[in-house]
Amino acid sequence: MSSNPLLRVTHLRKHYNVAKGVLFAKPLGQVKAVDDVSFTIAAGETLGLVGESGCGKTTTSRLILNLEDPTSGEILLLGQPIHGLRGEALRTYRAQVQAVFQDPWSSLNPRMTAGRTIAESLIVTGWGTRDVIAQRVRELLDQVGLRADHANQYPHEFSGGQRQRIALASALASRPRLIVLDEPVSALDVSIRAQMMNLLKDIQGRDGVAYLLVAHDLATVRHMTDRTAVMYLGKIVEYAPSQSLFAKVAHPYTKALFSAVLPPHPDRAEEEIVLSGEVPSPMQPPNGCGFHTRCPFAISRCSTVEPVLREIAPSHFAACHLHDG
Ligand code: SF4
């Protein structure tokens, strides 16, 4: 892991108490949505966070966006803890860490022109005079491949791809260090996904912005990321440079996830691993390895001893007893 990262996440936990009833709520237990997760993101790199829905990747990104407080653990941006920030310090953090979500409809106000949407955060932070902000909006529209006159149009006048470009321009307005991309292309037509991914990469190459890419589409993750973390039941089970991960998967869960959606390498005879059983309830995760109830390779200690994330090859980490060494 990088020694001087842009973002450092250390032993992050987010547990929710679950109760039944309203007036006399009866505690039912706890959901460990995020359970001891650590990773780093360097300036200008893209980290992919993948896993099935409910694995904790969205909660992790909400914690990084400072929309919720963690149960324990720490998130540091440039060495500074982010939770507990208030007032000006919180506004500065929000300018440095932005987000683009899957559905641009939900992030765009239908009654605001594209220009006003992009200018909004600049106005709030007192970026400059009206003319300076108007100039910055034109620059941003150009940066995301839109024309200056698009500033006067409303969201319904744009295609899905164009709306996502406006959401991106709005996220870029405050010159962030990190953008959380939560399924940024999955609502787009396949034909324009590649354009959006290339645009994101171009912007990163030019501005040095880092991305946390939360996605279930592994083709997008493979194309976009430098490193990838795979989550299962609130934990990272594999974490590696994307090139080495996609070339040689180590964890049985990652194998299953990848074999279900990515075409096998033409030179390797690999069978698709079909998982049996449902994802266990995060309120009652299995003892030992959380994946043992579905793992085709489980051995006896998998049901009693929890595997730890260990380095199995340079910078390649996996939590699985098959790699205990
Ligand atoms: Fe499968 Fe055991 Fe490895 Fe868990 S620790 S992934 S159950 S082999």
Q: Using a 6 Å cutoff on CB, does residue 257 contact ligand 1?
A: no
Q: Using a 6 Å cutoff on CB, does residue 200 contact ligand 1?
A: no
Residue 66 contacts residue 97 (beta carbons within 8 Å) = yes
Indicate the pLDDT class of residue 190, thresholds 50, 70 and 90: confident
Kindly state the average pLDDT of the residues 309-324: 95
pLDDT tens per residue, range 77-106: 999 999 999 998 998 999 999 999 987 777
Task: Report the DSSP beta bridge partners of residue 16.
Answer: 31
- Name the residue with the closest Cα to ligand 1, atom 5: 320
pLDDT tens per residue, range 258-301: 886 655 555 554 555 667 667 788 788 899 999 999 999 999 99
Task: Using the mean position of ligand 1's atoms as its centre, give its distance from the Cα of residue 235 in Å.
Answer: 14
pLDDT tens per residue, range 137-146: 999 999 999 9
Residue 74 token pair: 């720490």
Three-class DSSP category at 62: helix
Which ligand 1 atom is the nearest neighbour of the CA of 237?
A: 6
- Name the residue with the closest Cα to ligand 1, atom 8: 298
Measure the CA–CA gap between 182 and 214, rounded to whole angstroms: 5
- Name the residue with the closest Cα to ligand 1, atom 7: 292
Mutate to test the pocket of ligand 1, among 300, 305, 308, 322 (most ligand atoms within 8 A of CB): 322
Task: Using the mean position of ligand 1's atoms as its centre, give its distance from the Cα of residue 155 in Å.
Answer: 48
pLDDT tens per residue, range 144-157: 999 999 999 999 99
Residue 53 token pair: 């829905």
Q: Give the rounded distance of the alpha carbon of 98 from its chain centre.
A: 12
Task: Using the mean position of ligand 1's atoms as its centre, give its distance from the Cα of residue 300 in Å.
Answer: 10
